[in-house]
Amino acid sequence: SLNFHSLLKVWKQGFVQDSSKLLVHSIVITNAKITAMAKSSINIAPDYNQYPWRHVNSIHQVFHDSPVLLSLELTTLSLYSLLILHAIRRRKLSVLLAATISGAVNEVVFTSLPIVNNFWHAQAWLMLGPRLPAWQPALYGLFIYVACQSADILHSFGWNSRIGRAAVAGILAFLLLFPMDAVCVRFVAYTWHDSDPLLADRVMGVAAGNGMFAVAFPFCFAALTASSRRFGPAIACLLSTPSMVLLTLPLDQFVGDGVPTQTSLIALLVGMTSIVVVAASFTSGSPESSKTTADLTIPLVGFIYYLVLLSVSILADPAGQKSVGFHQPLSPIGPCLGDITDLSASGRQRQIYLCPNELSAATRDVLDPTCDPTRSIDQHWYVVCGRPFDSAGNSGGSRRTFVIKLACIAALGMLGLTSCQRGLS
C-alpha cells in the first residue's frame, strides 16, 4: 500500500510538472502565433524598400497603365507651375507654398497614422515617397490657392469680413476638389479602404468626409492666413489641420452619428453659405473697387482644370485604367479574413483585409482587385483595374449621369471664380 501511494505521488508530481511545462510551452507557441498573425495581418506600414517604387517612373509605363492618371498628373503640375508665376507676380508665393506644404504634411501624417491609413494613390510618373505622388501636394496648392485668391479679391469690393471671405474660399475649394476626387475614384487613380466607417457614406464615389475636408480645411487655412499679414501663411500651415478637426468633429458627432455623412456635409455647406450671405449684407462700397483689375489667370486655371476633368469623364474608359502600387491589404486565397479587424479613427472597427468576393457596393462598382495577378507582388502591392460604367451590378450610375453631375459642379465652380472677379455681383 505504501509503495502504491509513493508511486502515485511521484506520478502526480511528474504529471503536474510535465503538464505545467506543456501548458507554458503551448502558451508560448500560441502567443508567438498570435504575434506573427498580428504582424502579418496588421502590417499597415510594410517595409517600402522591398517594393519596386521609384521617385521617377517610366512615363510610357504610366501612360500604358492609366492614361487618365497621367493626364491628371501633367495637368495639375502644369497648372501649378502657372500658379507659381502668378504667386511671384502677386507676392503671394508664401501662401501657395504654405498650402502645398500643408497638403504634403496631411498626406504623410494620415497615411502614417494606423488609425487613419485609409487611402492609397496609384504609382504616378513622379513620386515624392512610396505613397506620395508629387502631383498630390501640387493639387493641394492648386485648389487652396485658387480658392483663397478668388476670395481675397472680394476685399477690394468692400468684403471686410475675414470669416466671410474664408467661407467663400471653403465653398470654392469644395467645388474644385470634389470633382477631381470623383474622377480619381472612378478611374482608380485613388483607392480607398473598403470597410472604414469614415468612408462609408459616399457621393459620386467620394466619401462625405473628403467633401467635408474640402470645405473645412481651406476655410481654416484662409481664415488663419488672413489673421496676420506677415506670419499668416506660417500660422495657417501649422494650425489649419487642428482647426479643421475642431470644426468638423461636432458636426460628425451631433449630425453624422459619429462619422461623416452626407447630412453633415450638407450642414457644413449650409453653414458656410449662411456666413457668406451674412458677410455680403455687411459689405461696404470701397473706393478700391473702381481700381480693381480682373485677374484672368485664376479663372483660366479653373477653366482648364474643369475642361480636363470633363474630357476625361466623357472620352476615357474606366475599364482601361490600372492602378499599380500599394492598396488595402488583400485577403489571402481562401476564406475571407473579415473577422480580423482594427480600430479606425472613428472609434469603430474595420476589416484589415480587402476580400475580393465580399466588396462593398461602393468599391465593387469602381474596381477589380484581382484583374492582373501576374504583376502583383503580395497582399500590399498589387494591380487594381477599373470597371466600366455599365458593368453588371453597377449601382454607381451611367456615364451620362456622372458627366452631367460633374458638369453642374464645374459650372458652379466657374460661376464662383468669375463672380469673385466682380465682387460676387
Q: Is 19 a residue whose pLDDT tops 90?
A: no
- Considering only residues 337 and 106, tell me which one the structure prediction assigns the higher pLDDT: 106
Q: Over 70: is that where the pLDDT of 3 sits?
A: no
- The answer on pLDDT for 204 being more than 50 is yes
Confidence of residue 45 (pLDDT cuts 50, 70, 90): low
The per-residue pLDDT for 338 is 65
Range with the poorest average pLDDT among 32-41, 70-79, 292-301: 32-41
39-53, 117-131, 329-343: which is most confident: 117-131
Q: Yes or no: say if 169 and 150 are a contact pair by the CB < 8 Å rule.
A: yes
Q: What is the pLDDT of residue 237?
A: 92
Q: What is the pLDDT of residue 228?
A: 85
Instruction: Output the 3-class SS for 315-366.
Output: HCCHHHCEEEEECCCECCCCCCCCCCEEECCCCCEEECCECHHHCCHHHHCC
pLDDT digits (tens, 9 = 90+) for 248-304: 999 988 887 789 999 999 999 999 999 999 998 887 655 454 455 568 899 999 999
Rounded distance, CA 140 to CA 151, Å?
A: 17
| Band (176; pLDDT cuts 50, 70, 90) | very high
Q: What is the mean pLDDT of residues 75-82?
A: 98
- 131: exposed, middle or buried (Cβ count in 10 Å: 0-12, 13-18, 19+): buried
pLDDT given at position 157 = 86
Predicted local confidence at residue 346, as pLDDT:
83
Write the DSSP symbol of residue 282: T
**Max avg pLDDT among 1-10, 93-102, 327-336:** 93-102
| Spatial contact of 329 and 398, defined as CB atoms under 8 Å apart | no
Identify the CA nearest to 355 among candidates 373, 335, 371: 335
pLDDT at 391: 65
User: Which 3 state secondary structure label does DSSP give 120?
Assistant: strand
CA separation (Å) from 199 to 180, 191, 212, 261, 392? Answer: 17, 11, 12, 9, 24
Is residue 39 over pLDDT 90?
no
Which pairs from 75-79 meet CB under 8 Å and 24+ separation? Answer: 75/304, 75/305, 75/308, 76/135, 76/138, 76/139, 76/142, 77/126, 77/134, 77/135, 77/138, 79/142, 79/301, 79/304, 79/305
- Which long-range CB contacts under 8 A does 244-252 form with residues at least 24 apart? 244/213, 244/216, 244/217, 244/219, 244/220, 247/216, 247/219, 247/220, 248/212, 248/213, 248/216, 251/212
Query: Between residues 395 and 325, which one has the greater pLDDT?
Result: 325
pLDDT tens sequence across 326-383: 999 988 766 676 678 888 888 889 999 998 888 888 898 899 998 988 899 999 999 9
Query: pTM score, two decimals?
Result: 0.86
Higher pLDDT, 117 or 40: 117
